[in-house]
Every structure is written in C-alpha cells, then in structure tokens.
Structure 1
Amino acid sequence: MQAVQFSEHGDRDVLEYGEFPDPEAGRDEVVVDVKAAALNHLDIWTRRGLPGVELEMPHIPGSDMAGVVHEVGEGVTRFEPGDRVALIAGVAGEHSEFTRKGDPTLAHDFHIIGEHVRGVHAEYAAVPAANLVPVPEGVDWEVAGSASLVFQTAWRMLVDRGEIRPGESVLVLGASGGVGHAAVQIADHAGAEVFATASTDEKLRYAEECGADHTINYESDDFAAAIRDATGRRGVDMVVDHIGAATYEDSLKSLRKGGRVVTCGATTGPNPDAGLNRIFWNQLSVIGSTMATPGEADEALDLVWDGTFEPRVRDTLPMSEIARAHEMIENREGFGKVVVIPDSEL
C-alpha cells in the first residue's frame, strides 16, 4: 500500500508518500480502507519530535480518518467488511481502573493513535475495533474523516471539564483552527454568549457563521482589553485556550472573578508564567482536558452526523501532497480542517 511516513524527525522535507507493508488485522483489530483523513496540530508536533515519545520508524502519522471496513480480526464482533467507520484515536489498556470506570483518558497507559503509535494517513490502517465508531450512510467522507478528534476534544473541554451552562459567556481563542471552530459551535449549541478570536477578518466571518456572537482580531486588538470593554470589565465565565504561552496571561485577564480557563494544548509553548497571584486573588480555575471518553465522543459525533455541528474543511489534498498539508497547518492558512485522501481514491 501507499502511506505517508517519515524515518526521522524534522521539517516538512522528512515526509514521504510511498510504499509501506500492508497492515494485517490482529485478533481485536479492524483493517480499514481509508477514504478520507485529516490533519491536526499533533501531526506537526509528532513530525518534529515530542520529548519523551519514542516512535517506531518509519512512522505513519494521522489521528483522524474514516473509511470502509476491509478485514476484521477473529475476536471482532462489532463490525464486518463493508461497514462505514471513523476513528476515535485515544487508547488505554483494557485492564486500567480508569478504563473500567469509563474515562480512559486518565489511564496511566493512555496513548493516541498517530502520536504514540503508527497512525492512519495511508491507504489502509489496522486499528483496534474499540477505537472505531459507525458512520451513517449519507455522511460525506470528508466530514466523517475530519470531525472526530477536534469535536470530541472540544466537547469534553466545554461540557464535561468546563461544565458550560446556558447563559454563560465563553471566549474561544484561535477560533479558525480545528478545536477552535468546534468549540465555537459547541458553546453556541449550549446556549452561551460566544466571543471568538482569529487573525484575519475573513476567519472572523467564518467564526460568526459557526455561531460566534462577538469577534476579536487578535493581530490588531488586545483581546483581554476587548473582553473587559465588551463585558463592562466583568470578564467572561470561561476561556477555551489551546494556544499556550502566547495567550495564557491574557486568558487569565479575560476571566471574571471565579471564572475558569480550560486548556487541551499549548501550540505556542507549554511553560507560561503561572500567574498564581491572579489565580488565587480572583479565585480562578485552570482546568486541563485531553481527548474524550467513548461516551463523550459518541455524544459529540452524533451531533456531527445529524448536521448540528459541521467540521469546516479549508482544503482537500491528495496524500502525496502531505508536505503542503503540513505547511497549511503550520502557517495557519485558512479556516477549519485540512483533509488528505489516498491518491488511489482520486
């Protein structure tokens, strides 16, 4: 088969699209004929190299995909060849206490397909059957292949960890990215007043289409000052921040007393000043969130499948143009997800 792969960490020039051994289904695995896959920022981090993460080389990236079941292992009963499926990328050991309690993201052995083990940017991918969900007929492959990671991540951030409530005010940073544009839609669906930031007026118009009530161009405006002005110096109830060091201080400044910031990542760096004086004086909460439980993922994706939520696709490229796809993510070009399709499907 043909697969996206790299044999060393580095810049985009380490990426190749070429021959790779066909996968075989283990006892509890399914081989999927991939129809569409999508990129996330973690693909960039994985390619560059993550501290403490050692990969089997060559590595196939990719944590989002959808396709048709091609083969099932002898222990698989949930799926059969021909079924339409999408990937849920988070994996935890089946004997973990947190897995048994329904929250595998807290397991000590939790890992992510595509980040810690070989991923799905290939013509075929072998994945645990437990990490697949059915995709209804009529759902486009580009939608099915780009929704899972960002919508489940944003759903857990806002609904489970952030405990969003109708009538609250929510600031979503980086609303043009995958998690950001999903968070805007989820916050709007929850009945919140939604503030959103992005770097261009065009991206802000897209954010409004996704449900943002107020928008702020962070390239030209101080978003913390803009929030204080817009809320009569009160601040918002919640900030959704997946950007990290570059925005953390202003995220805290944007909160009302007793407010909360929820974070799932740090694309600009993981070690900002803690801001403890502001946290204790204003009694703020800083809440971490990673991926989602299977139940949370199902809740989020059901609302994608029925059209309530819509993953926006900024571009669709053949997998052989994977370096260009990475470039779009790194340079923050466009709004929403970048989808890649096996060249054999074009």
Structure 2
Amino acid sequence: MTGTNSQFGLLSTKNSVELQSFPIPVPGPKEVLIKNVAVASNPKDWKYPIWIADYAAIEGNDVAGYIESVGEGVTEFKKGDRVAAFSKMATQENKYGAYQEYTVAPSTTTFPLGPNTSFEDASTLPLAAMTAAIGQFVRLGLPQPPESGFASARDDYATIINGAATNVGAFAVQLAKRAGLHVIGVAGSTSYAKSMGVDELVNYKEENNLESALVKAAKSREVSYAYDCVSENGSILLLARVLSKTSADGKGKVNHILHLADGESKQIPNGIEPVLTWVDTAYGEYVEFAAKYYRLLGRWLDEGSFKPSRVRLVPGGLAGVGEALKELQEGKVHGEKLVYRIAETPQIKARDGK
C-alpha cells in the first residue's frame, strides 16, 4: 500500500473479513475524523453481514483515538484532541466503520477523554453505554442521575435488569444506581454483577423457575420497570409476566434491545408495554440527550465514578477481528469487551517499519 491518502481497513461480508486498502475518509459537516488508537466489538458486528443481503462494508462503531480533522461547523474539537466516539451504524458507508485506521463520526456522539482515561477503556463505552442510557432514561422514563455525584437512594423506583453482567447491562446497573434506583439484577456472573452495584441478584443458572425467583426478589417493593439486555429466548415475555405481578396496578414497561419474536406481542400481559431501544437514535431522535450523556460519561469515567467494561485485548490488532467475532457469534465471550489496538496490526507495523 502506498500513498499518504491510503489506510488499512477490514471489509466484512457474509463469509469473510479481509484487510484491504481504502482511502482515508473526509468528515462532512458536523462530523469529525478520528485517527483510531483502540476500537471495540459489539455483537452487531457479526450479525449485520449475515442479516443484510449482499453486505460488504467496514463494520464496527466503537472507536477511541485522536482528532485528525473536523468538518464544517465543528468548533468543540481540534486536531490532536483525545476522544472516543460512536459512529453511524448500518449505513454500509465505509467511512463510519471502526475496523480501520481512520473513522468518521458525528461530532455529537464524539466526546473528550480526560487524562486518566485510556483509549482501551474508552472504546468500551460508546454503543453499549448509550444503549443503556437511552433505554432507561428515555424509553422507560426512569429518573435521571445528577450530573455530579449520586442521587439519594429512593424506595419509589425499582427496576429489573436482565443480563446485568453483559456490557449493556453493567452500564445500565451503574446508571440506575447513580439515579438512586433499587436494582434487581439477573446474571450468571454474580460477582461481576454485584461489583457494578446490583442490590438483589438472581442467578439464572441456579433457578428452576426464574419468574418466581424474580417476583420473590422484589419482596414488598413495587416493580414496574425492566430492562432486558438479552431480549432472546422468551426473556421479554418472562419479564412482562413478572411486572404484571410486581407492579401495584398491573402496569409497567419492559425495555428490549432486539425485536419481539413472531407472535410474542400478543402474549404480553395487558397493562405491560414493551418498548424497543435502538441506539442509532443517539444521532437521530435523541441527539441532544445523547450529546449530553456522552460528555457526562466521559467525565464520570475519568473521575473514576463510572467503570468501563472489562477489556480483553485481542492480539494482532485488526488481524484478530475475524476470529474474535467468531467467538462472539459462538457465545464464548462473557462479561468482557473485545478491544483491538490498531497499531498492533502486522500489516500496519510492517508499513511503518515497526
């Protein structure tokens, strides 16, 4: 690969991921160009190339690095600033992919990093933490935390978080606790979920009747809200049935991150409303909310009052993405985030003489 306007990127298709040469993209109005230091994976990164017909694009949306340039109308950032960002998803425009040396992202979903925050830790936040924030505070309408410190514990709001040890779930637990909410968590990794702040933990691996266990865990509390960070194998319906028994008037909301399966909507108990969170609303319908919370998350992370996902560094940079995504697809990754250092990609090291 030659030329200063070229870079390495990883093209994903239904059957393969391949490192290729691509032009360095140019940010449009209200966008920034980031020179990536660390990028991270999400389950959608293996799903989209399979789900979308004739898919061929650079995948990934979690990036952290340095501002390389800014588009028209961007005044918050300048070249050299340390940032992390959530890039646009499902566009099949290569410039927004994370698995490359340079990524374009909206300026609103880009946030500054403090001196105490590593690029690797920061790369774990953008997609998962915003999914948690939008789901709880916009879609469920739960009370929001103060911008500084933690809210006092309140007895009038309790929530169930299913998948409390997943990346989205661990962030949801932390945000709920900042808001003073009582959290009933469902997880298999009990120690990790508790370290995030879960008040009552139900280990799904040890329960023959998870529905009864959750009703019991509610005790005398009214529980009208649940966040399903799994949203598979009937979990949305299970949580809806639980809320129909734990809410005072039989009314409640279940937030889910995957669509209901065929026929499931008809099985939801009366009074329980399923609400879907789609994180691309962070640069769409909920752009102002997301811009505010990204900057809060960055600040809290640097203060040490908000924990990143547990980082698992994948050797080989971009060369390790293909096998790592297979692990995600096969369900072998639990309670950790797969992170890649771009500079460790062998082809990049060879090009740069390292």
Name the amino acid aligned to 1:316.
Answer: L
Find the aligned partners of 1:79 and 1:191 in 2 and give their Cα distance.
33
TM-fit CA distance, 1:27: 5.4
TM-fit CA distance, 1:33: 0.8
Question: 8 Å contact 2:158–2:223 — kept in the other structure?
Answer: yes
Map 1:140-289 onto structure 2 (within 5 A).
140-165=118-143, 166-167=154-155, 168-199=157-188, 203-221=189-207, 222-232=209-219, 236-246=223-233, 247-255=235-243, 256=246, 257-266=250-259, 270-271=261-262, 273-276=264-267, 279-280=269-270, 283-289=271-277
Give the equivalent residue in structure 2 for 1:296. 289
Find the aligned partners of 1:154 and 1:287 in 2 and give their Cα distance.
13
1:132-158, Cα deviation, whole Å (9 max, x unpaired) = 222223211112211111111111111
Find the aligned partners of 1:332 and 1:233 in 2 and give their Cα distance.
37
TM-fit CA distance, 1:20: 2.7
Question: 8 Å contact 2:161–2:229 — kept in the other structure?
Answer: no
Identity %: 24
SS state at 1:65 partner: strand
Map 1:302-313 onto structure 2 (within 5 A).
302-313=299-310
Which 5+ residue runs of structure 2 have no aligned equivalent?
1-6, 144-153, 350-354
SS state at 1:20 partner: strand
Residues 1:315 and 1:114: Cα distance change in structure 2 (over 3 Å): farther
Find the aligned partners of 2:74 and 2:215 in 1 and give their Cα distance.
54
Name the amino acid aligned to 2:49.
Answer: R
Question: 8 Å contact 1:60–1:114 — kept in the other structure?
Answer: no
Name the amino acid aligned to 1:87.
Answer: A
Which 5+ residue runs of structure 1 have no aligned equivalent?
90-111
Structure 1 window deviating more from structure 2 (118-127 vs 226-235): it is 226-235
Counterpart pick for 1:113 among 67, 73, 89: 89
Map 1:59-138 onto structure 2 (within 5 A).
59-73=57-71, 76-89=74-87, 112-113=88-89, 116-118=92-94, 119-138=97-116
TM-fit CA distance, 1:65: 0.6
Question: 8 Å contact 1:32–1:71 — kept in the other structure?
Answer: yes
Number of residue equivalences: 308
Find the aligned partners of 1:149 and 1:27 in 2 and give their Cα distance.
22
SS state at 2:312 partner: strand
TM-fit CA distance, 1:321: 0.6
Given the two structures, how large is their TM-score scaled by the length of structure 2? 0.78
Question: 8 Å contact 2:66–2:83 — kept in the other structure?
Answer: yes
Name the amino acid aligned to 2:262.
Answer: N
1:181-235, Cα deviation, whole Å (9 max, x unpaired) = 1111112222222122223xxx221000001122222233132111122234877
CA RMSD of aligned residues (A): 2.6
1:78-121, Cα deviation, whole Å (9 max, x unpaired) = 322111122133xxxxxxxxxxxxxxxxxxxxxx3356433122
Find the aligned partners of 2:82 and 2:137 in 1 and give their Cα distance.
28
Residues 1:176 and 1:17: Cα distance change in structure 2 (over 3 Å): farther
